[in-house]
């Protein structure tokens, strides 16, 4: 039976109202995901400051809940300091440190962990609320849940990393575990931004197979470079060979220097020359991929949003490379080290958003 004109008007109005309700719900989810991504970004920077100030081992226990309350009395501070004085970092690096100096490094690590708790709380409350109202459902709900579970795993990875530095004879965390910690945080950040960027899109952007392929290549290259940068930080490779473009007097060091440790694969983590060389070479490769992506998008999609985004990514990648050189030549001061890490997250953020926006295919006119 066909509907009357009045009934059709009611049906259209009902569909429009449902569409507007869904749109508002997705906008709220998008804002929530961007908020969490911002918190993750800040947490990465605080984590960088914690590492650069040598503060990461100042809290020697993992108390996910009760650890949220810092020492409130002088007696509690003394007890916390006594625990720190039992580990090798104090004995071999900071022996003679005063309680006041200990408080300075304690607050960095405490703030880093507190941000992790805040992210967990914001995610948990938001997820439950959006799930209960039906805004989060199906594939979107599963994707967001997977990111949340990865965030929970990241907390455990953080403690495993810290625990590696508490072992006898260790004065810092293991480089591989630092790499895992930072890379996991980077994947979470990229995932949050990619999901948020894809919500509520009215129509797919024009794109090509080559543009999509280069978007994937750029995102993978950024993540790989961040992982290599974590190895540089963990092994303190940035404090040696502080010349550019040559290192150890050559653009490509002697193989005997690159593979001095046996077995050979341990050089990838424990040999400062090899670790820094790999990071340098990957930086050149990343810039080349980012520039190629921008050139391709400009030629195949002139004047498009994709062309503008890829131009911005290439510019950020070049700026990040220059900042990396400046950080190296200055022997990694806190300000430049943090700026270098911040720019890495900016490049990653842009690459993740661009990758997501190239997924829905519409051939260019």
What is the number of alpha carbons within 13 Å of residue 240 lying toward its C-beta? 13
Give residue-wise pLDDT tens across range 108-144. 999 999 999 999 999 999 999 999 999 999 999 999 9
Q: What's the CA gap between 298 and 355, in Å, rounded?
A: 16
Domain assignments of the chain as residue spans, ordered by start: 17-174, 201-365
What is the number of alpha carbons within 13 Å of residue 277 lying toward its C-beta? 21
Phi and psi at 15, nearest 5°, equal: -65, -40
pLDDT computed for residue 7 by the predictor: 47
Q: Is 279 labeled as ligand-binding? A: yes
Q: Is 254 labeled as ligand-binding? A: no
The answer to whether 87 touches 166, Cβ cutoff 8 Å, is yes
Q: What's the CA gap between 127 and 130, in Å, rounded?
A: 5
Q: What's the CA gap between 104 and 85, in Å, rounded?
A: 15
pLDDT computed for residue 2 by the predictor: 56
pLDDT computed for residue 25 by the predictor: 84
DSSP 212-275: HHHHHHHHHHHHHHHHHHHHHHHHTGGGS---SS-BTTBSS--HHHHT-SSSGGGHHHH-HHHH
3-state secondary structure of 94: coil
pLDDT computed for residue 181 by the predictor: 97
pLDDT computed for residue 195 by the predictor: 96
Q: What's the CA gap between 213 and 362, in Å, rounded?
A: 15
Give pLDDT < 70 ranges for the chain.
1-23, 202-203, 360-365
């Amino acid at each position: 039976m066909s509907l009357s004109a009045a009934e059709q008007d009611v049906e259209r109005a009902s569909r429009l109202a449902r569409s507007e309700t869904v749109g508002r719900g997705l906008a709220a989810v998008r804002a929530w995901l961007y908020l969490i991504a911002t918190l993750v970004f800040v947490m990465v920077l605080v984590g960088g400051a914690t590492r650069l100030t040598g503060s990461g081992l100042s809290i020697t226990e993992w108390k996910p809940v009760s650890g949220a309350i810092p020492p409130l009395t002088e007696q509690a501070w003394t007890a916390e300091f006594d625990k720190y004085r039992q580990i090798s970092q104090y004995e071999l690096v900071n022996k003679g440190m005063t309680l006041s100096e200990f408080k300075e490094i304690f607050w960095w690590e405490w703030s880093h962990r507190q941000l992790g708790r805040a992210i967990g709380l914001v995610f948990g409350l938001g997820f439950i609320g959006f799930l209960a109202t039906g805004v989060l459902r199906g594939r979107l709900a599963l994707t967001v849940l997977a990111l949340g579970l990865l965030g929970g795993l990241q907390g455990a990875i953080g403690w495993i990393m810290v625990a590696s530095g508490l072992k006898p004879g260790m004065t810092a965390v293991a480089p591989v575990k630092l790499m895992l910690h930072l890379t996991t945080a980077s994947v979470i950040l990229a995932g949050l931004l990619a999901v948020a960027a894809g919500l509520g899109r009215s129509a797919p952007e024009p794109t090509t197979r080559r543009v999509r392929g280069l978007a994937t290549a750029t995102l993978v290259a950024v993540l790989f470079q961040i992982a290599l940068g974590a190895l540089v930080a963990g092994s303190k490779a940035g404090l040696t060979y502080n010349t550019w473009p040559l290192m150890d007097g050559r653009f490509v060091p002697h193989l005997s220097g690159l593979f001095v440790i046996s077995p050979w694969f341990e050089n990838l983590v424990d040999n400062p020359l090899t670790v820094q060389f790999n990071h340098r070479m990957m930086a050149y490769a990343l810039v080349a991929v980012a520039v190629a992506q921008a050139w391709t998008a400009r030629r195949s999609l002139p004047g498009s949003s994709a062309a503008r985004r890829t131009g911005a990514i290439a510019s950020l990648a070049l700026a990040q490379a220059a900042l990396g050189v400046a950080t190296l030549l200055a022997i990694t001061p806190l300000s430049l080290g943090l700026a270098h890490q911040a720019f890495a997250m900016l490049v990653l953020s842009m690459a993740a958003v661009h990758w997501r926006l190239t997924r829905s295919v519409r051939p260019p006119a």
